[in-house]
Amino acid sequence: DIQMTQSPSTLSASAGDRVTITCRASQSINRWLAWYQQKEGKAPKLLIYEASTLESGVPSRFSGSGSGTEFTLTIINVQPDDFGTYYCQQSYTYLYTFGQGTKLEIK
């Protein structure tokens, strides 16, 4: 199975900051990577697919980059509504796997 490792595990930021979350795959997954945001008690929400394509309706302050084994999710001008846990997920193989999550706390 392909292992997905996110860093950091937790992140604290103030409104207006720029934050970056990294996701590493244990083998190349080309650009078959998605990012999700989950708030407590709610279902996850798709933010980005195919590494860098923004899902419809997602604010442009979110962006994704990377290919192969290393990927990043960047949020510029962080807003209070951006708190929650972020997950990456590979779809290169049908044994899909998620990263362990990065919790973003707003100061």
Partner 1 sequence: EVQLVESGGGLVQPGGSLRLSCAASGFTLSHYALNWVRQSPGKGLEWVSYINWSSSAIYYADTVKGRFTVSRDNAKNGLYLQMNSLRVEDTAVYYCVREDYGMDVWGQGTTVTVAS
99 is a contact residue toward partner 1 (CB under 8 A): yes
Q: What's the 3-state SS for the chain?
A: CCCEEEECCEEEECCCCCEEEEEEECCCCCCCEEEEEECCCCCCEEEEECCCEECCCCCCCEEEEEECCEEEEEECCCCHHHCEEEEEEECCCCCCEECCCEEEEEC
**Eight-class DSSP state of 15:** T
Q: Smaller CB distance to partner 1: residue 16 or 41?
A: 41
> H or E element: which one contains 71?
strand 70-75
* 65 is a contact residue toward partner 1 (CB under 8 A): no
Q: Which of residues 16-55 bind partner 1 (CB under 8 A)?
A: 34, 36, 38, 43-46, 48-50, 53, 55
Tokens of 14: 């103030």
User: Cβ 29 to partner 1, closest distance in Å?
Assistant: 14
Q: Rounded to the nearest whole angstrom, what is the least distance from the CB of residue 49 to partner 1 in the complex?
A: 3
| Residue 19 or 99 with smaller CB distance to partner 1 | 99
Min separation Cβ 15 and partner 1, Å: 26
Chain contacts with partner 1 (rule: CB under 8 A): 1, 34, 36, 38, 43-46, 48-50, 53, 55, 85, 87, 89, 91, 94-101
